[in-house]
């Protein structure tokens, strides 16, 4: 994707074949630029959320730099990595004149930046990295990152990667969101009712059916266990009651009947008056 007019692109290609400027935004911002004097490159940026309670640090970004020039990066340029938040006196003050590139515009752009770091100033190696901490205690807002060259700069390739460790709500590509924010809307961050969201998923209904079947199986298992215990107790009772071959006796047993015979037609009084009965009675008294 061409980001500059054709004449500018040709000016960025020195005798040593340099790759055309390219930018991408995936999980991190990546840029490859062929530097030139008094120029600026918008790299894209991140929507940074509000810092957690108890701290002002809202995000941590790691910058990876790879310089392919013949001079040390700190000896050419200078080359700056700058960052602007979306407020009117920061990014708002430079966005309308961003395409203007000269010594005065470079000074103005650096003065409006929230963060200004000269690349290679404290690093002697051509490949290095450093941390950027963004402090923000207010609501979420966009942060724009850019490379600026001020003064005579060696026309060599500079590769830069910005990777967010924490704190970013969204990411936007180079040369976008100059006038509108990339931050999610408030309603997008609001919690969603769980039932409408879950009911639209097939897995929700499968889980619900499985839960019902499991509950019914558990109830049936409990009923079957109770019936089994009842049968076992009844069988044990029957085996205990019929032990020894006798049937259980219910109620009070009848009194044994004496060996005296009652003659047909005689009452107990008549039997008591017979001589045999009286003799037996006397004999018992003696």
User: Which residue reads 């809307």 in tokens?
Assistant: 185
Residues 78 and 105 grouped into a single domain: yes
CA pair distance 231, 238, nearest whole angstrom: 11
Range of the domain at 170: 6-183
Domain boundary among 121, 155, 183: 183
Q: Is the pLDDT of residue 244 over 80?
A: no
Residues 42 and 175 grouped into a single domain: yes
Cβ atoms of residues 65 and 77 within 8 Å: no
Residues 122 and 196 grouped into a single domain: no
So what's the pLDDT on residue 24? 54
CA pair distance 112, 140, nearest whole angstrom: 20
Lowest mean pLDDT among 40-54, 139-153, 191-205: 191-205
Number of domains in the chain: 2
User: Which residue reads 């960025």 in tokens?
Assistant: 12
CA pair distance 205, 252, nearest whole angstrom: 66
Q: Is the pLDDT of residue 83 over 90?
A: yes
Largest Cα separation within the chain, whole Å, is 163
Lowest mean pLDDT among 103-112, 166-175, 249-258: 249-258
> Residue 252: pLDDT band by 50, 70, 90 thresholds?
low
Cβ atoms of residues 3 and 174 within 8 Å: yes
Q: Is the pLDDT of residue 228 over 70?
A: yes
So what's the pLDDT on residue 63? 97
CB contact set of 117 (below 8 Å; sequence gap of 6+): 80, 81, 82, 130, 132
Residues 75 and 100 grouped into a single domain: yes
Which pair of tokens denotes residue 276? 């045999």
Q: Is the pLDDT of residue 86 over 90?
A: yes
Residues 224 and 105 grouped into a single domain: no
Lowest mean pLDDT among 17-31, 85-99, 146-160, 179-193: 17-31
């Amino acid at each position: 994707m061409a980001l500059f007019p054709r004449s500018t692109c040709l000016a960025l290609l020195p005798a040593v074949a340099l790759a055309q400027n390219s930018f991408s935004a995936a999980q991190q911002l990546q840029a490859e630029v062929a530097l030139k004097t008094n120029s600026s490159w918008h790299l894209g940026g991140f929507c940074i959320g509000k810092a957690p309670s108890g701290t002002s640090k809202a995000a941590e970004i790691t910058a990876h730099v790879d310089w392919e020039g013949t001079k040390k990066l700190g000896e050419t340029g200078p080359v700056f990595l700058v960052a602007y938040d979306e407020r009117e006196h920061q990014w708002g003050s430079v966005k309308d004149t961003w395409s203007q590139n000269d010594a005065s515009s470079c000074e103005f752009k650096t003065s409006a930046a929230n963060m200004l770091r000269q690349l290679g100033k404290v690093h002697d190696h051509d490949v290095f990295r450093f941390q950027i901490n963004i402090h923000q205690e207010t609501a979420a807002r966009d942060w724009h990152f850019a490379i600026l060259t001020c003064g005579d700069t060696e026309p060599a390739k500079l590769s830069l990667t910005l990777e967010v460790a924490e704190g970013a709500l969204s990411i936007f590509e180079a040369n976008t969101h100059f006038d509108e924010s990339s931050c999610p809307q408030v309603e997008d961050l609001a919690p969603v009712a769980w039932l409408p969201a879950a009911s639209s998923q097939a897995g929700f209904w499968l889980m619900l059916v499985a839960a019902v079947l499991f509950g019914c199986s558990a109830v049936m298992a409990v009923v079957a266990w109770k019936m089994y215990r009842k049968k076992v107790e009844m069988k044990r009772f029957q085996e205990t009651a019929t032990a020894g071959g006798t049937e259980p006796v219910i109620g009070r047993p009848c009194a044994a009947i004496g060996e005296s015979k009652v003659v047909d037609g005689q009452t107990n009084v008549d039997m008591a008056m017979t001589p045999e009965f009286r003799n037996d009675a006397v004999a018992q008294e003696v």
